[in-house]
Amino acid sequence: MKRHKIGLVGAGNIGGILGLLSGLEGLGDVVFLDLSEGVACGKSVDLEALAPVMGLSGSWKGGSDASLLEGCDVVIVTAGVPRKPGMSRDDLVEVNAKVVKSIAGNVSRYCPDAFVICITNPLDVMVGLFQRESGLPTSKVVGMAGVLDSARFRAFLAEALGVCAHDVTTFVLGGHGDSMVPVPRYTSVGGIPLSEVVEMGWLKASELESIVDRTRNGGAEVVGLMGTSAYFAPAASGILMAKAYLRDEKRLLPCAAYVEGKYGLEGVYVGVPVLIGAGGVEKVIELELSGEEMKLFESSVGHVRELNGVLEGLALEGKI
């Protein structure tokens, strides 16, 4: 079987952890591509030395020449600027759109068959831009947000309940921003619906409400604490999606995917549950949403559309 090649575009905080986790998971050979050749090369030299210590078989190379991407099976994009305290993800739209556009061109030139996972924010808008600019099929371009947002929801619930976070399953839908929609009705703890957990008195309704709120602001909480965006959990979430594709795992995961004809949507990237396997996004799952859930979902989609409008405006003004 051929060894897989993983392209990590952006070798910053998230990129570095992606490189480490790719090695620990045995995904294959990693190339880091970054504007800063020194950062890309430095991280690869450091990880090459980690391999013998940890008994890993992967290799790491780095540079700033896009031809490094030649033949990549998976590309994970984190290039761009993260937010600083007080900023929303949306504030990054202009600066990161330029970056994503140039990367899309290089991916379609050097590895048009790759499965691409975008992490750069504002996520839903950046992944849509990447797909349009690269011309790759929508099934092969996906955004990482829902796995991370759901993980935060799972972790906060697990902490409150005193259970292992693995035993909490859930979905967070919609755009990767303050308007995201954690869905308690599709949440269970060891198979017990969350509504019953609340009925049992194990979790107060008010506690659930503040956990939903904390989930929505989970990214901002980290930025506020350490002055820059989170990187461990975002990287782990990206690797989970890459693994699902490379190993044809048929994982059911919430991702920013292209939705056309489901949820009443006509062609927009937004967070929904999808099936990821060797075909990329093999299926978009349409959940039955209650009136209130649908209202929240539609408002979140509306926000993504608005930001897409901002992007179109910037393009018309020749700013991106």
- List the catalytic residues: 176
Backbone angles phi, psi at 315, to 5 degrees: -65, -40
Helix (H) or strand (E) holding 8: strand 5-9
Q: How far apart are CA 264 and CA 254, in angstroms?
A: 18
Q: How many other CB atoms sit within 10 Å of the CB of residue 313?
A: 11
DSSP 2: P
By beta-carbon proximity to ligand APR, the closer residue of 7 and 184 is: 7
Q: Which amino acid is at 108?
A: S
Least distance from C-beta 288 to ligand APR, angstroms? 31
Least distance from C-beta 14 to ligand APR, angstroms? 3
Which SS3 state, helix, strand or coil, does residue 74 take? strand
By beta-carbon proximity to ligand APR, the closer residue of 10 and 23 is: 10
Least distance from C-beta 94 to ligand APR, angstroms? 12
Backbone angles phi, psi at 161, to 5 degrees: -90, -15
Least distance from C-beta 234 to ligand APR, angstroms? 5
H-assigned helices in the chain? 13-24, 37-54, 93-110, 123-134, 146-161, 194-199, 205-216, 218-226, 232-246, 291-316
Least distance from C-beta 303 to ligand APR, angstroms? 17
By beta-carbon proximity to ligand APR, the closer residue of 127 and 168 is: 127
Q: How far apart are CA 110 and CA 73, in angstroms?
A: 11
193 preceded by cis ω (within 30°)?
no
Q: How far apart are CA 177 and CA 220, in angstroms?
A: 10
Q: How far apart are CA 192 and CA 313, in angstroms?
A: 47
By beta-carbon proximity to ligand APR, the closer residue of 141 and 296 is: 141
Q: Applying CB under 6 A, which residues contact ligand APR?
A: 9-15, 33-36, 39, 78-83, 92, 96, 99, 102, 119-121, 228-229, 231, 234
Structure tokens at 13: 């905080």
Tell me which residue has its CB nearest to ligand APR.
12
By beta-carbon proximity to ligand APR, the closer residue of 83 and 243 is: 83
DSSP 70: T
